[in-house]
Every structure is written in C-alpha cells, then in structure tokens.
Structure 1
C-alpha cells in the first residue's frame, strides 16, 4: 500500500481551530466539550488535589525489583507485512502494528522516564521491546492523549526526523507537539471521525473514559481517545488509556465496528481502586471490555514497564488469569504482553 504524504491534511480531520490565548483547541460545544474543556459524558473527571494527597499519604505501594527484564528477546521486525497481521509489544502502551503494507505505532515512548524531566519521574524497568534503530519505516503514529507515559515528545521528534510519519491524535494534542516542535505536522480529529491511511486503510478516533494534562493549568484542554484501525482486511481496537466507564464506549465501538479481530486493552495501573477506577481499568474491567467488544483476541498492556500506581509488578498478569478463569475464557485469548513479545496471524509460517 503506498504511503500517504505526511504533509497532506484532510480538512475533515481538522475540525475547529486553535484557542490563541491557551494554544489548545477551540470549537463548538458538543456532548464532550463545553467550549473550553473536554469531559467524559455521563462519566467522571479526574480526582482533585486533596484526593492526590490522600493517596500519597495512605499509599501502600508494592516495591518492584530494580529491573524487570522481559523473557522475550528484543524483536527485529520485518520491513513490511503485506499478508496477515503482526503486532509487536514495545512496552507500556507502545505497539508496532504491521498489516496491509503499513507500519503503525501506538503511543510510542522510548524515553527512559515518563516525565517532563530526564532526571526524575517514573523510570523504565525494562528496555523497549524493539530498539528504536531497529524499527522499520514508520508510516503512522497514533497518540491517544497527552500524559507523559503516552505522548513522549523526544520519541515523536526522533520519528519525525527519521521517517516523517503521519501523526494522528485527538483534538488539541497538536498544541503540545507544536509548542515544542512547530514544524511537525499533526492531524487531529474528534470522536467518531475517520481518517484515511490509504486506499484500503482507515483509522477512527473513538471515545475513552479518561482525562488529560501536561501541567497544572491545562487540565482537559486536549481530548483523549481510543482508535479503531481497519487495515489489511482486519479490524483492530487500541483503547489508549481508559477507565471502564460503565462499558458504554466499548459497547458503542462494538456496534459501529463489529466484528473486531484484535483488541489492545490496558490491564495495569489500577491501585488503589478508589483513586484509579475512573481512569484506569483493572484486569476484571478489561475482560468485561473484551467481552463487550466481542473481539476474537485481546492483548494486555499498560503494566510492568513504568510503576505508576500501587500494585506489584506481576499483579496485573495474575489478576488477568483469575478474571479470565472466572468467565471461562481460554487464557490464550487474552495475553498479558511483555516487551519483545510478538502476536501474529495469517503470516507465512505463522504458528
């Protein structure tokens, strides 16, 4: 499939305009935008400062080992996959998706820390499952929202210098990227919008139950979202970062896009539950989401790379096993991915 030029901007994918004062999106009110900030319709917003203090002072954080090496060696992906589907896990929320001749990255983070600082903040407990120099040419980069463990400016700049991929993000996230790198072309879209990636490939931005901020004064000024990718005759769902939110957005996605062949779902960063429930799913939530989506296969992420919350490093995988067993779902249908691990189907020689 021929690569679409990153300089091409479809006007349908660029609704609204910039708020000149704040730099973020400005546009008409919707069911999830009040004219200034985005919100979760029929859902909840992020916890406040007093709740953060309560968590920090009452935290019973499990201690992780100094390093958490993956049992899988670093992946050396092929340049292209024309038949079948190949998905390699880099770490946290970063996947390399190869199908239909396209190479797509989700929430790429190769930095050592998920932080505005190089010397402080959550650090990696394992190296990326693919060395950045071993990536094939990247055509498309999907970024779900602007938290530091998902939107990594250093990685985006490196990818732009190397490959000039198309950067596709929910509304307002271009302000974050262009505030540091004004020459990078970013395409933004709202929930429900589809963007063509080529003659037979399209990505749609769909609802998620989350929030956004890069600092103390820009909370919810940029939108968050999930992605549905139709490529190579298959349909993939990438949840980004999300709470269960009553399951409404998963049911809506299933109604619009079924059948879904593969769902990439977060399973970690969920403790303590009273604080994290609105923004992060636990494995039980993720299995419910998998069921609502009606997906044939799921891969779990958002665990084991950065310690963001209180649970132990292996607890998400343990809890996922229990949640699948309680619903009598075969464990190989929902895998807790580790860096370097590859899942594929329909490839020549695939097992």
Structure 2
C-alpha cells in the first residue's frame, strides 16, 4: 500500500529567508515566549462572558488637531490619531505609526470592530508625511486603504518588519518600503536612524497565515532624543524592555500600549496591561510615555475607561509622577519635555 507522504509545513506567502532564532523557515515566533491561543481558546473567550459594553459613540474631549508642517530643533511632539496611530514630529520629520483612518479594523467594511471616536487628525489636515512605521499586520495596525491613500497623497517611506512588505506591495506596487528584521537598522538623512527591535506578539491577516509575517517595535534615534515605539506587545517578563535598554541606553519618549488586555489568561502573551506598561517604562529608562491602544475600538473585554483607571493606580503604586505618562485621547497633543 502507498505510504502517507510526510507532513509538510505550508508555504509562507509573504517571506522566504534563512532560519534564525525567531524564524523556522515558515513561521516567526517569540523565543522563549508564549504561543498564540488556538481556536478552542478563542471560542472559550467568545462564549465565556465578561465583556463590558462600550458606548457606540465616545467623543474625545479634544477637538481634531491641526498640526504644524514641521517641528525642528529640540522639539518632540506626538499627536494622537486613535488606537495605535500616532503622528510623531521630530527633527523636521513627520512620522505616522500604524495609520488607520478606516471606520473598522477588520477585513470587512460591514462588520468587525468599529471605532467609537473619529480620527484625532482629519486626513486632509495631515502635514507632509515622510515615514510610516507599520509594526505588524493585524487589521488595527495595517490598514491597506489608509496606506494606499497616504501613498497617493504623500508618497512616504514605509518601514515594516519582514513579510509585511509583500502584503502592502500587492495593493500598492509602487510603494517605497524598507522591510526589516529584528536587529536591523536603516538611516534617514545623516542623523536619524530607525532600529527594528523585538516585541512579544504575533501576526495574521486570515485563518491560514498566522505568524507568517514578523512583528516588531522600533527605536527612532534623532538629534532631539531617542523614541521607543511599540504597537503591540505582551510583557514577556520584561525581557525585551531590558534588552532595548541595554542596547540603546535611555529614551526621551516611549510609546507604549495600555489597552486590549482582558481576559489575562488569553491576552497576556500579546497585550500588556497598564501595570505592565508602567513597569516597562521603568525597565527601558523612558523619561516620558505616550500611552495608546485604548478607547478607540473594542477588541477585548475591559471597559472603555478601565485602562485609564488601572494606569492611575499603577503609577501611584510605583511612585511614578503621572505627568510622565500621558494616555493620549484622539486629537490630544503632547509636547514632550526636553530631558
């Protein structure tokens, strides 16, 4: 009788490259980390109850911002668009992170998580965008409709981890993209660099491409100071925070996620909670933090204001001045003090 052929890993449609300490030739992974939950755990969560209802509309206390064209000298300004979309203005550069202007963070226009607050900057009020950082390919971070519009109107340089360039190029073939592995560095002008650094997360655009594109954090080094940007991460015992501090020293600003963390048994490996974000701030030697990834779209169980309340408790318990950790609402502008 014919033998059953040996099982084979599926082909990775996004990236081919050498095996490394976080890539096995098909799948990316977190070394020594937590494997993403499977379908059974997903069903347990979906039917387990405990989700706090969000309002359908939750206007920001801040009006939509109208940014200046450039911020030069020692200035460092961060403006919240919403969720993980931030406008960073520093050293004469305008940098957008994980830009999403679509009404839903979903593969569908008619279903999926819907934003409860409009973008904190109207798209037409954006200054000239030079660089776009895309940290990974989940729909609340990689929005192809927004990237296409940015390409057409601004032509930015897109920086993203391995494999995500393929996803973007399929829709925007002419886009200028730098794909980066953990540990890579690229330069902009003579005095601005971007390093691609590890974070503890995962990736997927559908049901059959889980962990086939890389996820990352970024370190932006400028004459005005260093910025540590994380789109999503599990705390991972603080390992990545300690490592980035050993490599880069300290940061004028860290952009850290503080939402989408309940229930902990499911979310611990992918989303840190506010208490862990405060510990991360301390471990990476950040003078100031812009908190994000909350109060825009409901992805998990906690209430819309729960991250803010939990953050206040964590800051008090750790003895950290609340003025150092700004949880930004849509339209809010944070001029980061000089260090």
Q: TM-score, normalised by structure 2?
A: 0.95
Partner of 1:188: 179
3-state SS in 1 of match to 2:251: coil
The count of corresponding residues between Structure 1 and Structure 2 is 328
What is the Cα deviation at residue 259 of structure 1? 1.9
Instruction: Supply the distance in 2 between the matched residues of 1:223 and 1:314 (Cα, whole angstroms).
Output: 31
Q: Give 1:240's aligned residue.
A: 231
Counterpart mapping for 1:100-115 below 5 A: 100-115=91-106
Q: Secondary structure at the match of 2:47?
A: helix
Query: What's the counterpart of residue 311 of structure 2?
Result: 320
Instruction: Return 78-87 or 181-190, whichever deviates more.
Output: 181-190
Q: Tell me what 1:280 maps to.
A: 271
Give, in whole Å, the separation in 2 of the partners of 1:90 and 1:232.
25
CA contact (8 A) 1:244 1:289 kept: yes
Deviation per CA, 1:201-252: give whole Å up to 9, x if none: 0111100000000001111010000010012331001111100011111101
Cα distance in structure 2, aligned partners of 1:346 and 1:76? 20
Q: Which residue of structure 1 aligns with residue 108 of structure 2?
A: 117
Name which of 32, 39, 42 aligns with 1:42: 32
Provide structure 1 residue ranges, at least 5 long, that are not aligned to the other structure: 1-19
Give the one of 262, 278, 282 matched to 1:271.
262
Alignment match, 1:70: 60
> In the alignment, which residue of structure 1 is the partner of 2:4?
none
Match of 2:196 in 1: 205
- Residue 328 of structure 1: CA displacement? 0.9
In 1: Cα distance, 2:208 partner to 2:101 partner: 26
User: How far 1:180 moved relative to its partner?
Assistant: 2.2
Q: C-alpha separation between the residues in 2 aligned to 1:65 and 1:163?
A: 34
> For residues 271 and 156 of structure 2, what CA distance do their matches in structure 1 show?
29
Matched with 2:3 is none
Tell me the distance in 2 between the aligned counterparts of 1:302 and 1:278. Answer: 16
**Residues 112-146 of structure 1, C-alpha deviation per residue, up to 9 Å, x if partnerless?**
00001111000010000000100000000000000
Aligned to 2:6: none
Distance 1:167 1:199 in 2: 18
Structure 2 Cα separation of the partners of residues 240 and 346 of structure 1: 22
| Match in the other structure for 1:292 | 283
- Equivalence map 1:46-57=2 (5 Å): 46-57=36-47
- State whether residues 105 and 139 of structure 2, in contact with CA within 8 Å, keep that contact through their aligned partners in structure 1: yes
Cα gap change, 1:236 to 1:316, in 2 (>3 Å): same
1:225 pairs with 205, 216, 224, which one? Answer: 216
SS at match of 1:199: coil
Match of 2:82 among 80, 91, 109: 91
Equivalents in 1 of 2:333, 2:277: separation in Å?
20
Q: SS of the counterpart of 1:103?
A: strand
Note if contact 2:294-2:307 (Cα within 8 Å) is conserved in structure 1.
Answer: yes
Question: In 2, distance between residues paired with 1:249 and 1:74?
Answer: 34
Structure 1 residue runs of 4 or more that deviate by more than 4 Å after TM superposition: none
Query: Which of 247, 257, 275 is residue 256 of structure 1 equivalent to?
Result: 247
Quote the offset at 1:258 in angstroms: 1.4
Question: Cα distance 1:42–1:21, how it changes in 2: closer, same or farther (>3 A)?
Answer: closer
Query: CA RMSD of the aligned region, Å?
Result: 1.3
**What secondary structure sits across from 2:183 in the alignment?**
coil
Answer yes or no: is the 8 Å Cα contact 1:299–1:337 preserved in 2. Answer: yes
Distance in 2 (CA, whole Å) between partners of 1:111 and 1:232 is 33
The 8 Å contact of residues 253 and 336 in structure 2, kept in 1 or not, is answered as no
**Structure 1 residue 302 corresponds to structure 2 residue 293:** yes
Gaps of 5+ in 2: 1-9
* Offset of residue 179 of structure 1: 2.1
